[in-house]
């Protein structure tokens, strides 16, 4: 497995989807509880917001109430997206994130980045669907760049487009594998998503570090120090 030679070692030159998924599974199973609890918290919070919105809309002004709670729900969703990315980055750094560690975020850039990606995807979906799928694929690491390297939202999206477009083949296969795993997770009474979501997010973050030349901690090793900061002006 790439990175198995020790923390700080260079990954193998050949990327493998199987290695990425295996890495995600091995890291997850060593620290499953915080991941599962964070996902459950996300589901509960989203459910409560949705329930309050539905109850409130029964008292009139349905459009405004639905809009308000739709915005709140979207923002909460963006925060949890960033939280999952933060947790996955901790995993590839060789640390076991506790629940609080998931939310060590600069919330403003995270929310703006997720919003821009959502808008771009939506516009692309309107334009015959396929452009939206392509945009979502190329922008998938936008949040990862923003959280990991403190890039601004536009720079994060540009960096994601650059790296993913240069490695589209293997990353497309990883995306298909991740979608397949999450479909299986959903079929298993949704309980399987508590496993498949963390595994696929960590696998994607493994691939992110692989293709950006970042360091990857060996699976199953905890407590390592985080890698040194990346050069702030690195171009992609």
Cβ within 8 Å of residue 78, ≥6 positions away: 110, 111, 114, 115, 118
Is the Cβ–Cβ distance between 34 and 102 less than 8 Å?
A: yes
Rounded to two decimals, the pTM is 0.86
Q: How many residues does the chain have?
A: 236
> Could you tell me the sign of the dihedral formed by the alpha carbons of 130, 125, 152, 207, in that order?
negative
Helix (H, G, I), strand (E, B) or coil at 150: coil
Is the Cβ–Cβ distance between 24 and 201 less than 8 Å?
A: yes
Separation CA 220–CA 202 (nearest Å): 13
Give Cα 155 distance to the centre of its chain. Answer: 17
For residue 67, how many other CB atoms are within 10 A of its CB? 12
pLDDT digits (tens, 9 = 90+) for 58-87: 555 667 777 888 899 999 999 999 999 999
pLDDT digits (tens, 9 = 90+) for 130-187: 999 999 999 999 999 999 999 999 999 999 999 999 999 999 999 999 999 999 999 9
Task: Mark residue 8 as left, alpha or beta (left: phi above 0; alpha: psi -120 to 50; beta: remaining).
Answer: left
Give residue 221's pLDDT band: very low, low, confident or very high (50, 70, 90). low
């Amino acid at each position: 497995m790439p990175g198995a030679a020790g923390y700080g070692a260079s990954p193998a030159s050949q990327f493998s989807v199987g290695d990425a998924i295996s890495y995600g599974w091995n890291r997850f199973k060593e620290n499953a509880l915080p991941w599962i609890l964070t996902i459950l918290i996300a589901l509960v919070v989203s459910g409560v917001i949705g329930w309050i919105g539905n109850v409130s809309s029964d008292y009139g002004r349905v459009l405004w109430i639905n809009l308000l709670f739709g915005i709140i729900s979207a923002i909460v969703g963006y925060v949890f997206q960033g939280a999952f990315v933060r947790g996955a980055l901790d995993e590839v750094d060789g640390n076991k994130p506790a629940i609080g560690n998931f939310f060590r975020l600069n919330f403003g850039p995270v929310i703006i980045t997720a919003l821009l990606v959502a808008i771009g995807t939506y516009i692309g979906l309107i334009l015959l669907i396929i452009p939206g799928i392509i945009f979502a694929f190329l922008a998938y690491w936008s949040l990862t760049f923003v959280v990991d390297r403190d890039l601004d939202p536009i720079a994060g999206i540009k960096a994601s487009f650059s790296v993913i477009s240069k490695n589209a083949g293997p990353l497309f296969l990883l995306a298909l594998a991740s979608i397949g795993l999450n479909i299986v997770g959903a079929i298993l009474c949704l309980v399987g998503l508590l496993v498949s979501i963390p595994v696929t997010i960590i696998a994607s973050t493994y691939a992110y570090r692989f293709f950006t030349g970042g360091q990857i901690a060996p699976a199953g090793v905890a407590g390592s120090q985080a890698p040194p900061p990346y050069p702030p002006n690195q171009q992609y």
